[in-house]
Each structure stands twice: as structure tokens, then as C-alpha cells.
Amino acid sequence: MSRALVSRCLWQLRRGTTRCTMSHSSLLAFMANTLELRFGPDPQLSEVMRLRVQSLQQRGQKRQDGERLLRPDEAVYRLDFAQQSLRFSHWTVRLARPGRLAITATSQLWTPDLTHLMTPQLLEPPAVFWSVVGNPRQTGTECYEANVCELGERITELAKVRKVIYFLFAFGEGCCPDAVDCSIAFTAGS
């Protein structure tokens, strides 16, 4: 059974768009080997980065060339990896109300005393999820599936050398942190 088939089946079941063609026992065996990590907000680092923006504004200074400042609709989140030999499986993102969520991973290790985030440290493409009210063809949360899978694979590569990865969550079009439930799943392996 291919990992791609299992991931696609899980993705479709979560979206409610189709029935899974895998056997129940195969799906259970796969899920027993799955590690699901929930994104956690890092309010202290978000606040330090907001203070950087405020400090620049108060002094009338401009950001450094290439520096990426935290916007008002963004927050810093993190994933902590207890295990580092992983393979990307799938995302689980639920938006409790209509809106848009963009998740951008950082390639550099941040610490609270390092607030200067440089644009080249952001991994492209971001994972973008959205939910629209009143669209009868849409059920649940939608995304750009290729971008979401690519970011998942990049996170897997970074997890091989990091125990913590930081992310920028950008909330838009009515989305807010309280309305988001977000995790990413991996399977153990090399």
C-alpha cells in the first residue's frame, strides 16, 4: 500500500468529499504508526517581534534590507519534534468560521532574543487554507493541495535537523486564532 494512497484517502475523508477505497484494517494500521503534531502559538516570541515593529515606528527608523516584520494579522507558532525521523502524511486544518489562513515555515532557528527575521528565511510556497460561507460546492476547509504537500515535505526535511520549527500564521478574511484548529501528521520512518 503506497503512502500517497493512504495520505490521499485520509485527506479525502477529512474533507468529506469522497469515500475511502482502503480497507478499514489497512487504514487503522497506518494510523497507529502516525504522529500528529498540533501547532502551538508562541505568544512571547510574537510579542518580542511586535515590539521590534513598535520600536522602529517610535524611532522613525526603517527595517533592515530584507527584514520581514511581523504584521498585525500574523502570529508566531511552533512545532516541537520529539522524533526526527519522519515522513509527511497529511494536514488537518479546521476553520470554525469563513476566512483564510496562510502558514509559512521558517528555515532558521529563532530564539526570543533573535527578532530579525529575514525574508530569505521563509519557505515558499506557504500553505494556504480557506473556508467560504454560502458556496454550496464547498464543504469544509479548502487548500492549494500541491503547496500544502510541498510545505509538509519541507517541514519533514527540517525536522531531521531541528527539534523546533517556527511558523508565521497569517489570519485573513475573518479568520482569527480562536477559530483555527491546525495540526500536521507524520509517519515514523527514514
Domains identified in the chain, total number: 2
Same domain, 26 and 116: no
pLDDT digits (tens, 9 = 90+) for 149-172: 999 999 999 999 888 999 999 999
Same domain, 61 and 134: yes
Same domain, 70 and 130: yes
Non-local (6+) Cβ contacts of 9 within 8 A are 20, 21, 22, 27
106: phi then psi, degrees, rounded to nearest 5: -110, 145
The arithmetic mean of pLDDT across residues 77-97, rounded, is: 92
Same domain, 76 and 15: no
Q: Rounded to two decimals, what is the model's pTM? A: 0.80
pLDDT digits (tens, 9 = 90+) for 110-128: 665 556 788 888 999 999 9
Residue 111 grid coordinates: 530564539
Same domain, 166 and 91: yes
Same domain, 154 and 79: yes
Same domain, 62 and 151: yes
> What is the pLDDT confidence band of residue 28, given thresholds at 50, 70 and 90?
very low
Give yes or no for residue 74 having a pLDDT over 50. Answer: yes
Same domain, 57 and 17: no
What CATH number is attached to the domain comprising 140? Answer: 2.60.120.390
In single-letter form, the type of residue at position 69 comes to L
Non-local (6+) Cβ contacts of 124 within 8 A are none
Q: CA nearest 124: which of 106, 142, 100, 145? A: 106
CA distance 83 to 86: 7
Give yes or no for residue 67 having a pLDDT over 70. Answer: yes
Q: What is the pLDDT of residue 140?
A: 77
Q: Which domain holds residue 19?
A: 1-32
Same domain, 74 and 118: yes
CA distance 21 to 93: 22
Same domain, 70 and 4: no
> What is the pLDDT confidence band of residue 1, given thresholds at 50, 70 and 90?
very low
DSSP SS3 for 105: strand
Same domain, 8 and 91: no
**Torsion, CA 138, CA 141, CA 27, CA 81, rounded to 10:** 170
Same domain, 49 and 82: yes
> What is the pLDDT confidence band of residue 132, given thresholds at 50, 70 and 90?
confident
